[in-house]
């Protein structure tokens, strides 16, 4: 019986459909599996991935219609597809994508392209450069993303000062004094960000001020 | 390998005569406790100093030895200096629960080999380090930090303490909230200095491929340059002013974001070998010719 190495074992996966052939059970493979915990784990992990994949495939969630519109608009803009009116854009367009002019491409390539396009659109929606597609949403998102930070710092501050120290040392006095300075900057930066939501430098200053406040509160808590 | 030894401080005849008299009129707690310890170390030793309050003075010398001289007046604290392998840990301990800030004070004079690495924590007081070429990390709350002829990777963090660095080299990262910085005769290839309320003065060399980032919220950032310097400059103050005496070549591509807001000066001075980024929220930025 020939000795099978881990590389040989995993090589069989690459050359087959993800599993070692069971139609002709190979004793050397079984022996290797018995002796090699690493390859056994590999097989177990693969089984779990398959199970989860099967569940996902069964659920097959339908993406919201706006995704299809955005994707279509983006591909039209790139000149990859032409405008073909249809009553149900999502189904017919996706159908065309997979069975029409792109059908010559292997499915993994199509899926990869689809994922890349989705990511490009998601990046466009969330990034500052292509924010024109949904600029307001991006701004609202940025504003709302700061709110939890501010709230968390507020509650941390309350917790820090819930039990005031018996006597304030020069060090804690200095920390409090600097906390006031940082609070003042936070307030200035918040105003600035409110006035100019696209101003990334102001936002950067605001985040840094939050960070400084968090550091100061941590130092106060240690004392 | 602990070669630590207690060495009594030299007898001073004046002190000897005065001491009995003083003993009659003062309580014992005001007498200074003096400790001197010596530790033999290998190259690249590490020295950590943890002192809540007081003056820490560290100087390099040519011996392969760390010498610690500590002075404290209160009986409510004690000073430990211990060696573990090639590391020497120096620490002020509080041995009483009720203790005033004055009682907490201990002063140190420490000599280390040139290549020693330092980690210093001193909340209030003063930290001064000279001629140490190893990496250094200094953290304080209110204590000011002075470095002279230091090199290596230097990181300094204060809350309100000021920072001064003279003839420092290597890599420098310093941050504070209300401390001001003076970076004089610097020869660092990487400087990142950030304070909120303090001023920043940079008067050093812009080394080729060096990166110099100075940032504050308010206050003044002042940078001095010589005609022979070579740097790419980006100076932005969102709500304040930017003044420059440097004749800059405008950038080929305007900065995509920052130049839209606030006041900004962007451009290249000579060949643009170093990168200088200055930014302030509502402070003033001055880029001045060196006198």
A212 closest CB neighbour out of B53, B177, B257: B177
Q: Which residue of A has its CA nearest to B175?
A: A212
Contacting residues of B for A196, CB less than 8 Å apart: 261
Q: Could you tell me how many CB contacts below 8 A there are between chain A and chain B?
A: 70
Q: Is B226 helix (H, G, I), strand (E, B) or coil?
A: coil
pTM: 0.66
Residue B135: burial class (beta carbons within 10 Å; 0-12, 13-18, 19+) = buried
Listed in sequence order, the residues at least 6 apart from B61 whose beta carbon sits closer than 8 Å to its beta carbon are: B111, B112, B113, B114
Asked if A171 lies within 8 A of B239 by C-beta distance, the reply is no
- pLDDT truncated to tens, each residue of chain B (291 aa)? 444 444 444 444 444 444 444 433 334 445 688 999 999 999 999 999 999 999 999 999 999 999 999 999 888 999 999 999 999 999 999 888 888 888 899 999 999 999 999 999 999 999 999 999 999 999 999 999 999 999 999 999 999 999 999 999 999 999 999 999 999 999 999 999 999 999 999 999 999 999 999 999 999 999 999 999 999 999 999 999 999 999 999 877 655 445 567 899 999 999 999 999 999 999 999 999 998
Rounded-to-integer distance, Cα B66 and Cα B290, Å = 40
pLDDT average, residue stretch A117-130 = 43
Looking at residue B150, its pLDDT comes to 96
Looking at residue B240, its pLDDT comes to 95
Asked if B261 lies within 8 A of A209 by C-beta distance, the reply is no
Paired tokens of A127: 């990034």
Which DSSP string do the residues of A152-183 spell out, in sequence order? HHHHHHHHHHSS--SS--HHHHHHHHHHHHHH
Contacting residues of A for B257, CB less than 8 Å apart: 128, 200-201
Listed in sequence order, the residues at least 6 apart from A193 whose beta carbon sits closer than 8 Å to its beta carbon are: A143, A146, A199, A202, A203, A206
The answer to whether residue A191 scores a pLDDT higher than 70 is: yes
**Does the ipTM exceed 0.90?**
no
Q: Which residue of B has its CA nearest to A211?
A: B177
Rounded-to-integer distance, Cα B248 and Cα B208, Å = 17
Cβ(B46)–Cβ(B75) below 8 Å: no
Which DSSP string do the residues of B129-142 spell out, in sequence order? EES--S-EEEEESS
Paired tokens of A143: 């504003």
Cβ(B136)–Cβ(B150) below 8 Å: yes
Cβ(B211)–Cβ(B193) below 8 Å: no
Please provide the distance, in angstroms rounded to a whole number, between the alpha carbons at the two ends of chain A: 69
């Amino acid at each position: 019986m020939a000795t099978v190495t881990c590389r040989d074992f995993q090589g069989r996966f690459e050359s087959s459909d993800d599993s070692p052939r069971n139609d002709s059970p190979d004793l050397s493979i079984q022996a290797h599996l018995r002796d090699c915990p690493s390859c056994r784990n590999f097989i177990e992990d693969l089984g779990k991935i398959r199970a989860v994949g099967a569940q996902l495939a069964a659920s097959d969630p339908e993406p919201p219609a706006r995704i299809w519109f955005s994707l279509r608009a983006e591909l039209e803009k790139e000149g990859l597809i032409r405008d073909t009116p249809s009553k149900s854009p999502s189904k017919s367009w996706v159908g065309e994508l997979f069975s029409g002019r792109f059908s010559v491409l292997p499915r993994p390539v199509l899926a990869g392209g689809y994922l890349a396009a989705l990511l490009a659109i998601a990046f466009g929606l969330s990034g500052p450069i292509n924010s024109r597609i949904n600029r307001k949403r991006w701004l609202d998102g940025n504003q709302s993303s700061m709110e939890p930070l501010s709230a968390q710092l507020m509650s941390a501050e309350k917790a820090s000062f819930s039990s005031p120290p018996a006597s304030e040392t020069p060090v804690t006095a200095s920390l409090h004094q600097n906390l006031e300075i940082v609070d003042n900057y936070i307030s200035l930066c918040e105003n600035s960000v409110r006035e100019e939501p696209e101003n990334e430098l102001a936002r950067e200053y605001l985040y840094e001020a939050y960070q400084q406040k968090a550091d100061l509160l941590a130092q106060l808590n240690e004392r | 390998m602990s070669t630590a030894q207690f060495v009594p401080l030299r007898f001073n005849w004046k002190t000897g005569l005065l001491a009995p008299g003083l003993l009659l009129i003062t309580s014992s707690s005001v007498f200074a406790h003096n400790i001197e310890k010596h530790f033999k170390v290998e190259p690249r030793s590490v020295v950590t100093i943890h002192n809540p309050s007081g003056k820490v003075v560290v100087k390099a010398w040519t011996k392969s030895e760390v010498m610690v001289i500590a002075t404290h007046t209160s009986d409510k604290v004690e000073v430990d200096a211990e060696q573990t392998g090639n590391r020497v840990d120096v620490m002020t301990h509080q041995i009483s629960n009720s203790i005033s800030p004055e009682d907490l004070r201990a002063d140190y004079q420490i000599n280390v080999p040139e290549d020693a690495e330092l980690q210093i924590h001193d909340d209030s007081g003063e930290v001064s380090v000279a001629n140490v070429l190893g990496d250094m990390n200094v953290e304080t709350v209110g204590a000011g930090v002075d470095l002279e002829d230091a090199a290596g990777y230097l990181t300094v963090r204060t809350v309100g303490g000021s920072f001064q660095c003279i003839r420092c080299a290597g890599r420098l990262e310093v941050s504070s909230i209300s401390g001001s910085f003076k970076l004089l005769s610097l020869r660092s290839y990487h400087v990142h200095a950030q304070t909120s309320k303090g001023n920043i003065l940079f008067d050093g060399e812009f080394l080729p491929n060096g990166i110099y980032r100075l940032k504050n919220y308010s206050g003044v950032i002042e940078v001095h340059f010589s005609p022979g310097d070579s740097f790419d400059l980006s100076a932005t103050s969102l709500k304040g002013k930017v003044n420059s005496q440097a004749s800059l070549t405008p950038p080929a591509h305007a900065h995509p974001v920052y130049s839209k807001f606030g006041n900004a000066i962007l451009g290249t001075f000579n060949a643009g070998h170093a990168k200088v980024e200055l930014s302030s929220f509502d402070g003033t930025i001055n880029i001045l010719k060196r006198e």
